[in-house]
Amino acid sequence: MTALTIHDRIALQDLVHRYAEAVDERDIARAAALFTGGGVLELPNPPASLDPVVSHTGIDAVTAALLAVAAVPVTFHAIVGAVFDPGPTAATAVGRVTCTAHHLTRRHGKDVDLVWHIIYRDLYRSTSAGWLFARRRLHVAFIESRSVAAMRAPGPTR
C-alpha cells in the first residue's frame, strides 16, 4: 500500500465534486466519463432497498443508469465529507464520501424535496487521464421529505 500524496487527495476531492456537478447539471456523458472503461456503478432501489442491489458495468451501462436522474426536475448534491485511503493495490485508492442529495419534484400538485442522505463507498484507479471511479457503491442512510417554497427551473447555471 502506497501512501496517497496531497496531490492525489486533491484530485480525488475534485473527482467526487465533478461527479456531483455533472449529475446536477444533467451532463450525464461527463459524469459517466469519470468512470474507468470497466467501471461499476452499484445502486439501491429506495425505499425497498437502501443498499446497492443493481450493478451497472461499463460506460454505456453507467450512462443508462444515470439517465434516470433526468426524470427529476432538479437535483442538488452537497458533498459533506470525504475520506480517502490507499487502495488494495498500487494505483488504487478507496473512499467514503457522504452526500446530501436533494431531489426536487412535484407530488400531488406540490413541490417536494426528497432528501437522500448518501454514503458512497468508492474504489478509484489512477489512470493516464487521472483518478477515475473503478467502482462506486451508493448506500442511502435515510430519506426525508420536505415541502419546497420555490424552485428554480432546471438547467445549467454556468
pLDDT digits over 31-40, tens only? 999 999 999 9
Q: Which of 69, 85, 100, 70 is nearest to 9 (CA)?
A: 85
Quick one: three-class SS letters along 47-89?
CCEEEEEEEEECHHHHHHHHHHHHHCCEEEEEEEEEEEEECCC
Q: For 53-95, write each residue's pLDDT tens digit.
A: 999 999 999 999 999 998 899 999 999 999 999 999 989 999 9
Grid cell at residue 57 = 458495468
Q: Residue 1 has what pLDDT?
A: 63
Residue 156 has a pLDDT of: 62
Domain spans of the chain, in order of start: 6-147
Q: Report the predicted TM-score, pTM, of the whole model to 2 decimal places.
A: 0.92
Could you name the CATH architecture of 6-147? Answer: Roll (3.10)
